[in-house]
């Protein structure tokens, strides 16, 4: 019975895809029809595989045209994502959007980064996505929510870093700017990069679902972004080590907190990627940097404590004030130490 239901569901999906393609072809706006047809072919209801390479390439090619075409393309993908209740279609939309970020033209990525206006957290609007037709689609739905959150954290980071984590060309072009960052900006970038790692580690418990080719592709792409994120964090930690002796107590404490958050993700990430992105050298750098940051933090805390103690003693042991008091019927100056009021 379950097999028959799945076959019927797949058949209905094929009919829906064909109907959508026919509807797009009948549009009087030819440019819009071409865009929507390309998006539909990349995000079919077929549960067996991720978007085919040539269908993704057709979507990306739309970014080589005019800005209005690129805007229509992103709007079509987002409409498809927000309008579907099918977990397979939703995950294919997210995978296609990730390809836009990694390989799309500047115009295409720019339209995505600021969709609808300024973007923001949960602008993919999949945090409450549920496909409850059966156990399988229910489990896939949890991977849709996870991957949507991962992509959102990537796009939020891109606005702060000025680069796209998923784009290898962006990463190589921007490494040299790290040394010119202020300490506060450096810490802000580390914080947002750690946020990506935290979202990656919040994956669903149904790891067996990776046997599904669609989920496997999403995890594989997430692994590539994780490797890039490690590289970006590592470069900034190396810069922090160079500056550690000049860091303030607050900066050292903030860096320590970020690294604690990062280390808390390690075990789950190993389970997700099954050592595919292990990178022991990266975690050694995290551990060593954390030790140095903790030492600098403790020195800073001791300095602050001593400084506050010295100021308190100076207030308590301030100069005596001589007051005029009546003594034995005669006014005289009597030395009297006036203690400050205790809060």
Q: Kindly report, residue by residue over 192-210, the tens digit of the pLDDT.
A: 999 999 999 999 988 877 7
Q: What is the largest CA-CA distance in the chain?
A: 113
148-162, 214-228, 270-284: which has the minimum mean pLDDT?
270-284
Taking the CB of residue 258, how many other CB atoms lie within 10 A of it? Answer: 23
Average pLDDT, the chain: 83
- Cβ-contact 199, 262 below 8 angstroms: no
Residue with tokens 């500047």: 106
**CA–CA separation, 149 and 122 (whole Å):** 7
2-16, 47-61, 232-246: which has the minimum mean pLDDT?
2-16
- Residue 67 confidence (pLDDT) above 50: yes
Report the half-sphere exposure of 204 (CA within 13 A, side-chain side).
Answer: 20
**CA–CA separation, 262 and 161 (whole Å):** 18
Taking the CB of residue 5, how many other CB atoms lie within 10 A of it? Answer: 11
Which residues lie below 8 Å from residue 277, measured CB to CB, with a gap of 6+? 223, 226, 227, 230, 269
- Residue 284 confidence (pLDDT) above 90: yes
**DSSP 8-state symbol, 1:** -
19-28, 96-105, 297-306: which has the minimum mean pLDDT?
297-306
| pTM of the complete model | 0.82
According to CATH, the topology of domain 1-308 is 1.25.40
- Cβ-contact 9, 49 below 8 angstroms: no
Q: What is the pLDDT of residue 72?
A: 94
Highest mean pLDDT range out of 20-24, 107-111, 310-314? 107-111
- Cβ-contact 158, 106 below 8 angstroms: no
Contacts of 154-158 with CB under 8 Å at 24 or more apart are: 154/101, 154/196, 154/225, 155/101, 155/112, 155/113, 155/119, 156/119, 156/120, 156/121, 156/192, 156/195, 157/192, 157/193, 157/195, 157/196, 158/101, 158/113
**CA–CA separation, 19 and 163 (whole Å):** 39
> Per this entry, what is the length of the chain?
343
75-84, 100-109, 235-244, 289-298: which has the minimum mean pLDDT?
289-298
- Residue 317 confidence (pLDDT) above 60: no
Q: What is the pLDDT of residue 301?
A: 53
| Mean pLDDT in residue range 263-280 | 86
**CA–CA separation, 323 and 106 (whole Å):** 78
3-state helix/strand/coil string of 162-231: CCCCCCHHHHHHHHHHHHHCCHHHHHHHHHHHHHHHHHHHCCCCCHHHHHCHHHHHHHHHHHHHHHHHHH
Q: What is the pLDDT of residue 275?
A: 66
For the chain, the domains span 1-308
């Amino acid at each position: 019975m379950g097999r028959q239901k799945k076959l019927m569901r797949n058949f209905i999906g094929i009919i829906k895809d064909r109907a959508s393609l026919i509807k797009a072809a009948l549009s009087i706006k030819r440019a819009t029809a071409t865009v929507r047809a390309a998006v539909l072919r990349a995000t079919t209801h077929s549960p067996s595989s991720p978007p085919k390479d040539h269908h993704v390439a057709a979507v990306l090619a739309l970014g080589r045209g005019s800005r209005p075409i690129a805007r229509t393309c992103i709007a079509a993908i987002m409409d498809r994502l927000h309008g579907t209740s099918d977990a397979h279609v939703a995950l294919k939309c997210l995978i296609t959007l990730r390809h836009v970020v990694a390989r799309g033209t500047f115009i295409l990525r720019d339209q995505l980064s600021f969709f609808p206006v300024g973007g923001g957290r949960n602008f993919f609007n999949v945090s409450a996505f549920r496909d409850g037709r059966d156990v399988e689609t229910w489990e896939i739905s949890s991977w849709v929510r996870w991957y949507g959150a991962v992509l959102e954290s990537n796009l939020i980071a891109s606005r702060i870093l000025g680069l796209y984590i998923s784009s290898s060309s962006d990463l190589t072009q921007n490494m040299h700017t790290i040394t010119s960052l202020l300490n506060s900006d450096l810490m802000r970038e580390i914080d947002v990069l750690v946020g990506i790692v935290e979202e990656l580690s919040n994956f669903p418990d149904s790891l067996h679902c990776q046997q599904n080719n669609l989920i496997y592709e999403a995890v594989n792409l997430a692994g590539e972004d994780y490797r890039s994120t490690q590289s970006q964090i590592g470069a900034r930690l190396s810069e922090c080590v160079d500056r550690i002796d000049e860091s303030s107590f607050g900066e050292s404490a903030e860096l320590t907190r970020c690294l604690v958050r990062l280390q808390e993700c390690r075990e789950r990430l190993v389970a997700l990627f099954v050592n595919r992105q292990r990178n022991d050298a990266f975690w050694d750098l995290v551990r060593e940097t954390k030790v140095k940051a903790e030492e600098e933090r403790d020195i800073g805390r001791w300095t602050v404590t001593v400084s506050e103690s010295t100021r308190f003693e100076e207030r308590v042991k301030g100069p005596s004030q001589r007051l005029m008091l009546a003594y034995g019927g005669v006014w005289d100056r009597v030395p009297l130490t006036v203690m400050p009021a205790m809060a």
